[in-house]
Structure 1
């Protein structure tokens, strides 16, 4: 299936958001995810299965001062 991640097309197997983040070496605790222009609560990452045509925006938290 095909999805878009931060504007880039990707072909992936069917999986939930949590597993997808792990598959691209991203710690789900350290990012915010927007799915099809809606913020996805972290509590829903495991229950939300990605579908063909979905668009994800993944934002990393960066500390600093």
Structure 2
């Protein structure tokens, strides 16, 4: 089985995810660092500690924000 999810407004097919996939598995599949990601599932922000229990269903809507560090504070 596979899942088709709405990811950041775009339909995306995940043939490698099992029918009982969780949010934790999706974040791993996307190769994102767990400590730099925030996820909203069907309009609700899901705490990182709940990702392993957050089951995904075909057609779920997700917004994934990946935080990136960097920049320079020196004066030009």
Provide TM-score, normalisation by structure 2.
Answer: 0.75
Runs of 5+ in structure 2 lacking a partner? none
Please say which structure displays the higher CA radius of gyration: 2
Larger RCO, structures 1/2 (Cα 8 Å, 6+ apart) = 1
Number of equivalent positions: 65
Superposed CA RMSD:
1.4
Deviating above 6 A after TM superposition, structure 1's stretches of 4 or more consecutive aligned residues are none
Provide TM-score, normalisation by structure 1.
Answer: 0.86
Runs of 5+ in structure 1 lacking a partner? none
